[in-house]
Amino acid sequence: MGALLALFKAMFDSLRDLLPIVCVIAFFQLVVLQEPLPDILSILFGLILVVFGLTFFVIGLNMGLFPIGESMAQAFARKGSVLWLTLFAFCLGFGTTIAEPALTAVAAEAAAVAAEGGIIPDSAQEMDAYALGLRITVALSVGVAIVLGVIRIIRGWPIHIMIICGYVGVVVLTWFAPSSIIGIAYDSGGVTTSTITVPLVTALGVGLASAIKGRNPMLDGFGLIAFASLLPMMFVMIYGMVLA
């Protein structure tokens, strides 16, 4: 009975979170455009699927990804091996990013546009290679970013100094990178922080900060996502410079 109540509560929370989006779409469709919603039954069925999807996704995060991320970070911290901890952090960042659906979609679209613009040959093989190279570049950058974030937590370095230096590097690279890659590079910082990466990386930071004496999980446990958004911009611009 308690499990059913928790499930219904999670579904209600998901519906409440979706309600503003539904209201905005309905207002502009019915009031501004003054047109009925096309295929209303299909839209309603899709909304129901979204509610169920969000509900089970949130439940899955709380039951699976967050606990395992925190427990593994704490176990590595107790083990006292910085090498294994940083290796785990890199593999976690690389693995979660290469599996991101948003990154896959953006890389495929970038390859198609690059082929249309004559930047790469217009063939399926070249577009696949370009998209794969972009995905691997972003995944490597996130792996390095998570390692930097973990070292920051261990050493207690101030996050704002590192972020400021990182964005200075982004600005400098923007001057030298090909104009065709800059927009893709900036978007790459956003698509890396999506459904798979964020929960595991956040759990890693909080778990690590909780296990290290003298670290505050609220002050030191967060901030890894900022690195995961920053470094892909730099790496992708360098990737574009190499291809050019």
pLDDT at 229: 87
Residues 90 and 58 in one domain: no
Residue at 205 is within a domain: yes
pLDDT at 2: 65
Q: Which residue has the tokens 């004496």?
A: 213
pLDDT in tens, 195-207: 667 777 888 888 8
Residues 54 and 101 in one domain: no
- Can you read off the two tokens belonging to residue 209? 């900060």
DSSP single-letter state for residue 156 = T
DSSP single-letter state for residue 61 = I
Whether the pLDDT of residue 83 is over 80: the answer is yes
Residues 116 and 229 in one domain: yes
Residues 11 and 87 in one domain: no
Q: Name every residue whose Cβ is closer than 8 Å to that of residue 91 and which is 6 or more positions away in sequence.
A: 143
pLDDT in tens, 171-204: 999 999 988 889 888 988 777 776 667 777 888 8
Residue at 106 is within a domain: yes
Q: Look up the domain containing 206 and give its range.
A: 80-243
Report helix angle 224-243 to 179-191, nearest 10: 150
Confirm if 236 and 138 have CB atoms less than 8 A apart.
Answer: yes
Residue at 72 is within a domain: no
Residues 104 and 225 in one domain: yes
Residues 167 and 98 in one domain: yes
Residues 103 and 166 in one domain: yes
pLDDT in tens, 134-170: 999 999 999 999 999 989 988 888 888 999 999 999 9
Residues 4 and 87 in one domain: no
Q: Which residue has the tokens 């070292």?
A: 151
Residue at 68 is within a domain: no
Number of domains forming the structure of the chain: 2
Whether the pLDDT of residue 52 is over 80: the answer is yes
- Can you read off the two tokens belonging to residue 54? 């969000």
Q: Which residue has the tokens 């001057």?
A: 175
Residues 54 and 90 in one domain: no
Residues 106 and 215 in one domain: yes
HSE on the CB side for 214, CA within 13 Å?
5
Residues 140 and 212 in one domain: yes
Confirm if 191 and 102 have CB atoms less than 8 A apart.
Answer: yes
For residue 27, count other CB atoms closer than 10 A to its CB: 11
Q: Name every residue whose Cβ is closer than 8 Å to that of residue 203 and which is 6 or more positions away in sequence.
A: 65, 66, 67, 68, 69, 70, 73
